[in-house]
Amino acid sequence: MTETLRIVMNGVTGRMGHNQHLVRSLLAIRDEGGLLLADGRRVVPEPVLLGRNAGKLKDLADRYDVPLWSTDLEACLADPSTDIYFDAQLTDLRAAAVTSAIAAGKHVYCEKPIASTLEESLRLNALATQRGVKHGVVQDKLFLPGLRKLRTVIESGALGQILSVRGDFGYWVFEGDWRPAQRPSWNYRAGDGVGIVLDMFPHWRYVLDSLFGQVRAVMCTTATHVPERVNEAGQRYECTADDAAYAMFRLEGGIIAQFASSWATRVNRDELLEIHVDGTMGSAVCGLHTCTVQPRTATPAARWNPDEPDGLDYRGAWLDVPAASPYANGFRAQWEAFLSHVVADTPFPWGLLEGAKGLQLAEAALASAAAGCWIDLPDLVA
């Protein structure tokens, strides 16, 4: 039995909505004949492209053989044939659209942050729960090959008791004068509700919560290292949003984590994200794709001697963690889980409340940066 799910996709003209959610997720599933569920049913996603630019939408529809597209959100939501609303718009537009979708009885799945404030995100979760619709938030980094390998290592017990976690993320975003910037100019305007804390700390929340323990407190310092950039029209503008953040987190169980996040750093590591985990029985380092481990029995005896070169090959003492199986695109993997959740009611632990937790950490980090102190994170109640 084959079932078609019609999915309104808002924000597909943007980089993430286009590449990851449309092309590499839903269209890939569609073009392979749909998603086969455990009960033998097959689910075929049918996208409805939604946005503000009719020309761009028509180009995408023609390029990918998508018959349905629209610039009218309310019409798409009023259509009884649409089942799911997906949102990858600018953050400050998301809450209103998701609210309308919930009111229309659509299941909702959206990018993070799910709203501009914690209060808004909790309201969305409450509305979805009251309306009885299925809901989810994208938590793609949990599905990256490197982090999946790291989870396997942790769950095996090979690291023993985990003591600390150190994350290093970022790259140099060009200023836009001599080379085009890799990120849009609105990322650097505080009035648009962005900045690296709001962009990245929701990611760090679900990574830390899922792999190591619930985040209980944060201490953060933010910076705007590059004060002026050039926008897409070639005009100089003042940067008012944070482009770097340096944070420590206290986790449940006594684990200490520290993360450096920056769009003003040059990369000297294997991947743009690197997470180093130290435990009593061993350590692990993972990136987006790779993971290495060093067990206690293979740890070299390092000695501090500033007078002579060390001579130890520290990188050579680490072992690669092989893939247990081929890993699908992380966005697609979570889409498949959500489609199965909608059709077959299979478990889906990444609902809107998980998205609210990301906003809680981001707001606490910004409050910490303003006050210069630790900020506690109480439990969120649905």
Instruction: Give the start-to-end residue ranges of the domains of the chain.
Output: 2-140+330-348, 141-327+360-371
Q: How confident is the model at residue 326 (pLDDT cuts 50, 70, 90)?
A: confident
Reported as a single tens digit per residue, the pLDDT across 52-82 is 999 999 999 999 999 999 999 999 999 999 9
Helix axes of 118-131 and 91-103: crossing angle, nearest 10 degrees: 20
Q: Please give the Cα distance from 7 to 108 (Å, whole number).
A: 10
Task: Say what the pLDDT of residue 190 is.
Answer: 85
How far, in Å, CA of 118 to CA of 27, rounded? Answer: 33
Confidence tier at 15 by pLDDT (50, 70, 90): confident
Average pLDDT, the chain: 95
pLDDT for 194 equals: 78
Domain at 2-140+330-348, CATH class: alpha beta
User: What CATH homologous superfamily does 141-327+360-371 map to?
Assistant: Dihydrodipicolinate Reductase; domain 2 (3.30.360.10)
Average pLDDT over residues 273-299: 97
pLDDT at position 91, please?
85
C-alpha 275, offset from chain centre: 15
pLDDT band with cut points at 50, 70 and 90 for residue 193: low
Edge-first strand order for the sheet with 375-376 is 319-320, 291-295, 282-286, 273-279, 162-170, 256-262, 244-251, 215-223, 375-376
Q: What is the pLDDT of residue 192?
A: 74
Cis-peptide into 113, omega within 30 deg: yes
Question: Model's pTM, two decimal places?
Answer: 0.94
349 vs 331: CA distance, rounded Å: 15
How would residue 1 be classed by pLDDT, with cut points 50, 70 and 90?
A: confident
